[in-house]
Amino acid sequence: MSDPRIDKLASVLVNYSTNVQPGEWVGVLGDVSALPLVRAVYTEVLKAGGNPSLMLTDEYLTRNFIRNATDAQMEWMDPAQNLYYENADVYIRCGALPNTRAMTTVDAKRI
């Protein structure tokens, strides 16, 4: 059973904020913590006739990367994400953090 508030937010994001049109490539990026919203946005993109591409992130893995990656790894851009950011017609990011204090011990310069 879906939450009507999430469905309404997804509709606003797709039909008003980004005005997705039929045939547009729509990047839907979201954290696994925001999965209900990601699913609703994906569904709304389909209803609007858009072509959704889904990319999921995870707070734990993101934090792990920021803490442990070398400077070279921090500067490297994933070619799949690069293609996605440069070529998608619409980009919708759904974020949610289950632990708002998880990054408090990470050096701000790395973020």
pLDDT tens per residue across span 78-104: 898 888 889 999 999 998 877 667 667
Domain boundaries, the chain: 4-94
Across residues 63-89, what is the average pLDDT?
89
- Residue 12: pLDDT band (50, 70, 90) is very high
**Secondary structure of the chain as H, E, C letters:** CCCHHHHHHHHHHHHHHCCCCCCCEEEEEEEHHHHHHHHHHHHHHHHCCCEEEEEEECHHHHHHHHHHCCHHHHHCCCHHHHHHHHHCCEEEEECCCCCCCCCCCCCCCCC
The CATH number corresponding to 4-94 among 3.40.50.11260, 3.40.1830.10, 3.40.47.10, 2.160.10.10 equals 3.40.1830.10
Average pLDDT over residues 48-77: 91
Q: How far apart are CA 85 and CA 99, in angstroms?
A: 27
Average pLDDT over residues 43-72: 93
